[in-house]
A and B are shown apart, each in its own frame.
Chain A
Amino acid sequence: MKPFAKSADFWSGIALAALGAYIVSEAWRWGYLTEEGPGPGFFPLWYGSIMVVLSLALVASAVMKRPTGKPAEAVRWDDLGRALTCWGAFVVSIALMRVVGFAVSFALLTWFIVAVMARRPQRVALPLAIGGALLFYALFELALDLTLPHGMLF
């Protein structure tokens, strides 16, 4: 594999160039100028085009970057895995809110972060999870009269 193919700049440049191309293609359909003046495609066409040019410049700089002789900083998959696991738990808790509502879902998310990710004992995780959910309910729903997500069950 070529060294640049491992570069994050190379791949983020490709992704942004694709986004820029999409913006330009959409803007093209909406019209650049109308009888009253600039059309809905006028502004997006400009920033989309600039995005394509700059993204390609980012790709080019990643390709042309000379090897420094130092080993490239390796991706720390463990760290990335932890962040993505937390994100996954966050997404699941949002999806669960449709069924069990905010309080239960938030308690489960808290328990997961404390007990599973931070590896704290249950005597720490459970009070934090239950206490946190009750605190949110008391503060936002009762004291501030705000509506928290309700599910089919709660």
Chain B
Amino acid sequence: MDIFSGLMQGFQVALSANNLLMCVIGVVLGTVIGVLPGLGPPATIAMLLPLTFKLEPTGAMIMLAGIYYGAKYGGSTTSILLNVPGESSSVVTCIDGYQMARKGRAGPALGMAAISSFIAGTFGVVALMLVAPPLAKISLAFSAPEYFALMVFGLTMVVLLAGESLIKAFLSMLVGLWIAGMGTDLFTATSRFTFGRVELLGGIDFIIVAIGVFAVGEVLANMEPAEPAEMLPVPKGLRNLMPTWDDMKRCRFAFVNGSVVGFLIGILPGAGSTIASFMSYGIEKAVSKHPEEFGQGAIEGVAAPEGANNAETGGALVPLLTLGIPGSGTTAILLAALILWGFKPGPLFIQDQPALFWGLVASMYIGNVLLLILNLPLVAVFAQLLKMPGYAMYPLILGVSIVGVYTADSSMFQLGLLAAFGLFGYAMRKLDFPTAPLVLGLVLGDLMEKALRQSLMMSQGDPSILLRPIPSVLLGLAVLLLVGPLFKKFNAFRVKVIDTEA
């Protein structure tokens, strides 16, 4: 199937009444959680995932993806009006966005964030559509050793960029592998780490850990009192939200920069949208004719990072859908969702599930248009959500978490595990252990062990099978990345990137 006919089929799927409704629900929910600080896309997607089991998978995937990219649009509103990122990837937008708002230019800042997000988000979808099918064909040559090496490389990237302490990030990932290994070993039927509990024979459901660590852990962390931030007013009327022609001209390069950098960084596992927006901001400042304006309210300082964090979505979906390798906590949850629905993301995914793949791509075009509409004329409505007190929101999050976990298995034991992982997630935050490597280790743990054991079975126990060209390059790169922080300059750069993210 060529790209054009695939896309036409995709629009047929995405424009059906049910899927269109799912897309609207997804982008609205995404915008809402993007606007609300303290509740991110991983927590929301994890909480809602069990509730989608009764839905048709294509519609459910369209909705979850809508939450993923919708949150990135919404996050900028909070950054600009409150100087607090609604979502981690919007942190860079605070720098110039808030300064613009303080100078009475909140409208053009919000407008530019929406326009740039739309342009770059659409670019990301076009690039996803063009890059994913040929990459899937190339990856058909991959077998167990290549997959094992790819997963090692992906996890290494995530560990490298997850936190200032490489050791803690690594340990977090190892705990994820341990939790993934609980239950019955599929090769030999041996029970592993079940502590004699029948309930653990099937392993610990990924959803319980994700909801516990991200949603319940986040609520507990937010119970600590924080200084209330002052919200700047949203200008009334669409005209006051539109950037001037001069603003648009100044942001020409920022649109291109944000789109390309965001997409390319998105493809890399571990880097994520925060780093993409940080890099595009840095490039924008470096090539600007007036770099002294950056940090004082330069509109390019809003356009470039907002574009990058939205183009990153398309990039992040490339390895997820063509290789089955997620690069972040959120895409790991999307991978788990696809697996739970019975799909196998990987080289054959596009070929075997054309309606789902192309339907998702087409829905993202539609979703980006919907988000532009939501984030221009309706931004004042969403901004009102910032007035919602935490004490009204936290019980709702805890309630949806309980419903989500209980719906998946109707077991009170699982609710006990949810509480335990909630406390664990809170402890991780307090002790500065990053959560993304835990979730990735958990999602990839089983697949990684399976790939390694299959590789060694293929070679009758000879580890040199991992020295075939592709695995050796990927494993070599992983070793280099792990050795890199031993060198001061490399580590200083790594820490600088992480500090900006933090």
Write the residues of chain A forming the contact surface with B, with a CB cutoff of 8 angstroms: 8-9, 12, 16, 19-20, 23, 26, 30, 33-34, 36-40, 42-44, 47-48, 50-51, 54-55, 57-58, 61, 76, 79-80, 82-83, 85-87, 90-91, 94, 97-98, 102, 106, 109-110, 113-114, 117-118, 120, 128-129, 132, 136, 140, 144-149
Contact = CB atoms under 8 A, between A and B. Distances in A.
B412 A26 contact: no
Contacts of B402: 94, 102, 106, 149
A145 B406 contact: no
A131 to B, nearest CB: 10
Given A30-B192, A43-B177, A106-B402, 15 more contacts: A16-B175, A37-B456, A38-B461, A44-B178, A48-B178, A54-B171, A58-B167, A58-B168, A83-B426, A87-B422, A91-B419, A110-B395, A113-B395, A146-B51, A146-B54
A94 B223 contact: no
Nearest to A50: B174
A90 B216 contact: yes
A120 B433 CA distance: 34
Interface of B: 51, 54, 165, 167-168, 170-171, 174-175, 177-178, 181, 185, 187-188, 190, 192-193, 216, 219-221, 223-225, 389-392, 394-396, 398-399, 402-403, 406-407, 410, 412, 415-416, 418-419, 422-423, 426, 430-431, 433, 448-449, 452-453, 456-457, 460-461
A114 B224 contact: no
A8 B415 CA distance: 28
Nearest first, the 5 A-B pairs at minimum CB distance are A118-B391, A37-B457, A110-B395, A79-B224, A40-B185
Contacts of A136: 399, 403
A120 B394 CA distance: 14
A63 B220 CA distance: 30
Contacts of B190: 30, 40
22 contacts: A20-B174, A23-B178, A30-B190, A36-B457, A38-B461, A39-B188, A40-B188, A44-B181, A58-B167, A58-B171, A61-B167, A83-B221, A85-B223, A86-B394, A87-B220, A91-B419, A102-B402, A106-B399, A114-B392, A132-B395, A140-B51, A140-B403
Contacts of B168: 58
A54 B170 contact: yes
Contacts of A50: 170, 174
A35 B362 CA distance: 49
Contacts of B220: 83, 86-87
B225 A149 contact: no
A123 B143 CA distance: 63
Contacts of B430: 8, 80
Contacts of A85: 223
B211 to A, nearest CB: 12
